[in-house]
């Protein structure tokens, strides 16, 4: 059977069967009644393996080879699969705006999305394997109430975790104002600052701890007057500095209190998604990439 790009489905209410492109699914038990078009290509996968180690309801019903998935947010703010780019590089893309509409149009026409998926105000991406380090950093922050973070480069499959940040400070600024601040030193490992080629930097992230009113996934963006000079500090200004040094990606913050992932660039926030959905999405893609 030829490779199909149909994603429509038609339901037969009498037989309680949903016809999804090349396959018919029996709704009551969530199983397909016909042979997967790729069954001969991947004989090691039997019906007893479910599909990609997941229940059928969580799987793209086209039965095709898993590509780099592209996700956007639906009306309720949940992640929704939109399509793919026709490659299998172990990445997951998150899009919004016109890019989201273009991906949906390509999928509706039975095509891969061939447009620009480089990082921008509408596009963020992450290697799927990074979720293991991100989740480990989050667990460390939940235990210590200190910031953690890490980064990946294009030349390495591994994610490097940074040294944990210091304890959160709570300073009296006078006039009834206080400053509660957490921090982590980017690219510092075992006490040494790594010399990172910005053109080789893929993605970096850090975790905001849930303590003393902190824990939001909103990237910090503030300034302070020191000796008459306006000193810009925070996540967004730091990212702007890296962009001027040649970095082209979008980093992200995980909020330990609001359980959100917030992608941003040197101009501001790009997209916020629910952490649990973010985690499941990346884990699923990682498993798929390993198998295929």
Same domain, 56 and 147: no
In a domain, 52, yes or no: yes
Question: What is d(CA 210, CA 220) in angstroms, rounded to the nearest whole number?
Answer: 15
Report pLDDT digits (tens) over 260-290.
999 999 999 999 999 999 999 998 888 766 6
In a domain, 188, yes or no: yes
CA dist 159 → 9, 146, 191, 242 (Å): 39, 19, 17, 19
User: With 90 as the cut, is the pLDDT of residue 256 above it?
Assistant: yes
Question: What is d(CA 264, CA 205) in angstroms, rounded to the nearest whole number?
Answer: 10
Same domain, 147 and 257: yes
Same domain, 165 and 55: no
Same domain, 50 and 138: no
Same domain, 144 and 261: yes
The three-state secondary structure class of 234 is coil
Contacts of residue 66, Cβ cutoff 8 Å, sequence gap at least 6? 52, 60, 88, 285, 288, 289, 291, 292
In a domain, 222, yes or no: yes
Cα–Cα nearest to 83, from 119, 99, 63, 107: 107
Question: What is d(CA 260, CA 239) in angstroms, rounded to the nearest whole number?
Answer: 19
Same domain, 136 and 242: yes
pLDDT of residue 49: 46
pLDDT of residue 178: 79
User: With 70 as the cut, is the pLDDT of residue 96 above it?
Assistant: yes
Same domain, 57 and 138: no
Res. 17 pLDDT band, cuts 50 70 90: low
The C-alpha angle with vertex 201 and arms to 196 and 207, in degrees rounded to 5, equals: 95
Contact at 8 Å (CB) between 28 and 12?
A: no
Report pLDDT digits (tens) over 57-84.
444 444 445 578 999 999 888 999 999 8
Count of the separate structural domains present in the chain: 2
Question: Domain range for residue 19?
Answer: 1-61
In a domain, 224, yes or no: yes
Q: State which of 26-35, 66-75, 164-173, 237-246 shows the largest mean pLDDT.
A: 237-246
Is the full-model pTM beyond 0.85? no
pLDDT of residue 89: 85
Domain end residue (candidates: 10, 34, 61): 61
Q: Which of 18-32, 99-113, 263-277 has the lowest mean pLDDT?
A: 18-32
User: With 70 as the cut, is the pLDDT of residue 259 above it?
Assistant: yes
In a domain, 254, yes or no: yes
Where residue 175 falls (left for φ over 0; alpha for ψ -120 to 50; beta otherwise) is: left
Joined together, the tokens standing for residue 120 give 């921008």
User: With 80 as the cut, is the pLDDT of residue 205 above it?
Assistant: yes
In a domain, 95, yes or no: no
Joined together, the tokens standing for residue 290 give 């390993």
Same domain, 146 and 241: yes
User: With 80 as the cut, is the pLDDT of residue 53 above it?
Assistant: no
Res. 24 pLDDT band, cuts 50 70 90: low
Domain end residue (candidates: 34, 61, 88): 61
In a domain, 184, yes or no: yes
pLDDT of residue 181: 87
User: With 80 as the cut, is the pLDDT of residue 228 above it?
Assistant: no
pLDDT of residue 26: 57
């Amino acid at each position: 059977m030829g490779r199909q790009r149909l994603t429509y489905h038609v339901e037969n209410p009498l037989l309680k069967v949903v016809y999804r492109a090349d396959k018919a699914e029996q709704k009551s038990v969530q199983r397909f009644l016909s042979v997967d078009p790729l069954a001969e290509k991947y004989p090691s996968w039997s019906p007893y393996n479910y599909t990609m180690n997941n229940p059928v309801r969580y799987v793209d019903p086209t039965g095709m080879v898993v590509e780099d998935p592209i996700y956007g947010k639906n009306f309720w703010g949940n992640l929704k699969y939109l399509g793919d780019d026709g490659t299998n590089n172990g990445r997951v893309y998150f899009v919004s705006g016109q890019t989201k509409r273009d991906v949906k149009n390509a999928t509706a026409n039975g095509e891969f999305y061939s447009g620009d998926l480089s990082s921008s105000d509408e596009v963020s991406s992450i290697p799927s394997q990074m979720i293991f380090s991100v989740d480990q950093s989050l667990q460390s922050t939940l235990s210590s109430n200190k910031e953690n973070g890490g980064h990946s480069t294009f030349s390495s499959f591994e994610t490097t975790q940074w040294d944990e940040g210091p304890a959160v400070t709570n300073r009296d600024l006078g006039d009834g104002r206080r400053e509660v601040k957490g921090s982590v030193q980017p690219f510092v490992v075992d006490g040494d600052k790594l010399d990172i080629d910005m053109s080789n930097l893929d993605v970096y992230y850090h975790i905001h701890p849930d303590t003393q009113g902190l824990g939001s996934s909103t990237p910090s963006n503030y300034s302070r007057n020191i000796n008459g000079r306006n000193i810009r500090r925070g996540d967004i200004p730091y990212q702007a500095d890296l962009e001027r040094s040649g970095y082209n990606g979008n980093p992200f913050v995980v909020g330990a209190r609001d359980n959100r992932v917030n992608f941003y660039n040197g101009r501001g926030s790009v997209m916020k998604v629910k952490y649990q959905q973010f985690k499941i999405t990346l884990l699923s893609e990682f498993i798929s990439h390993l198998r295929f």
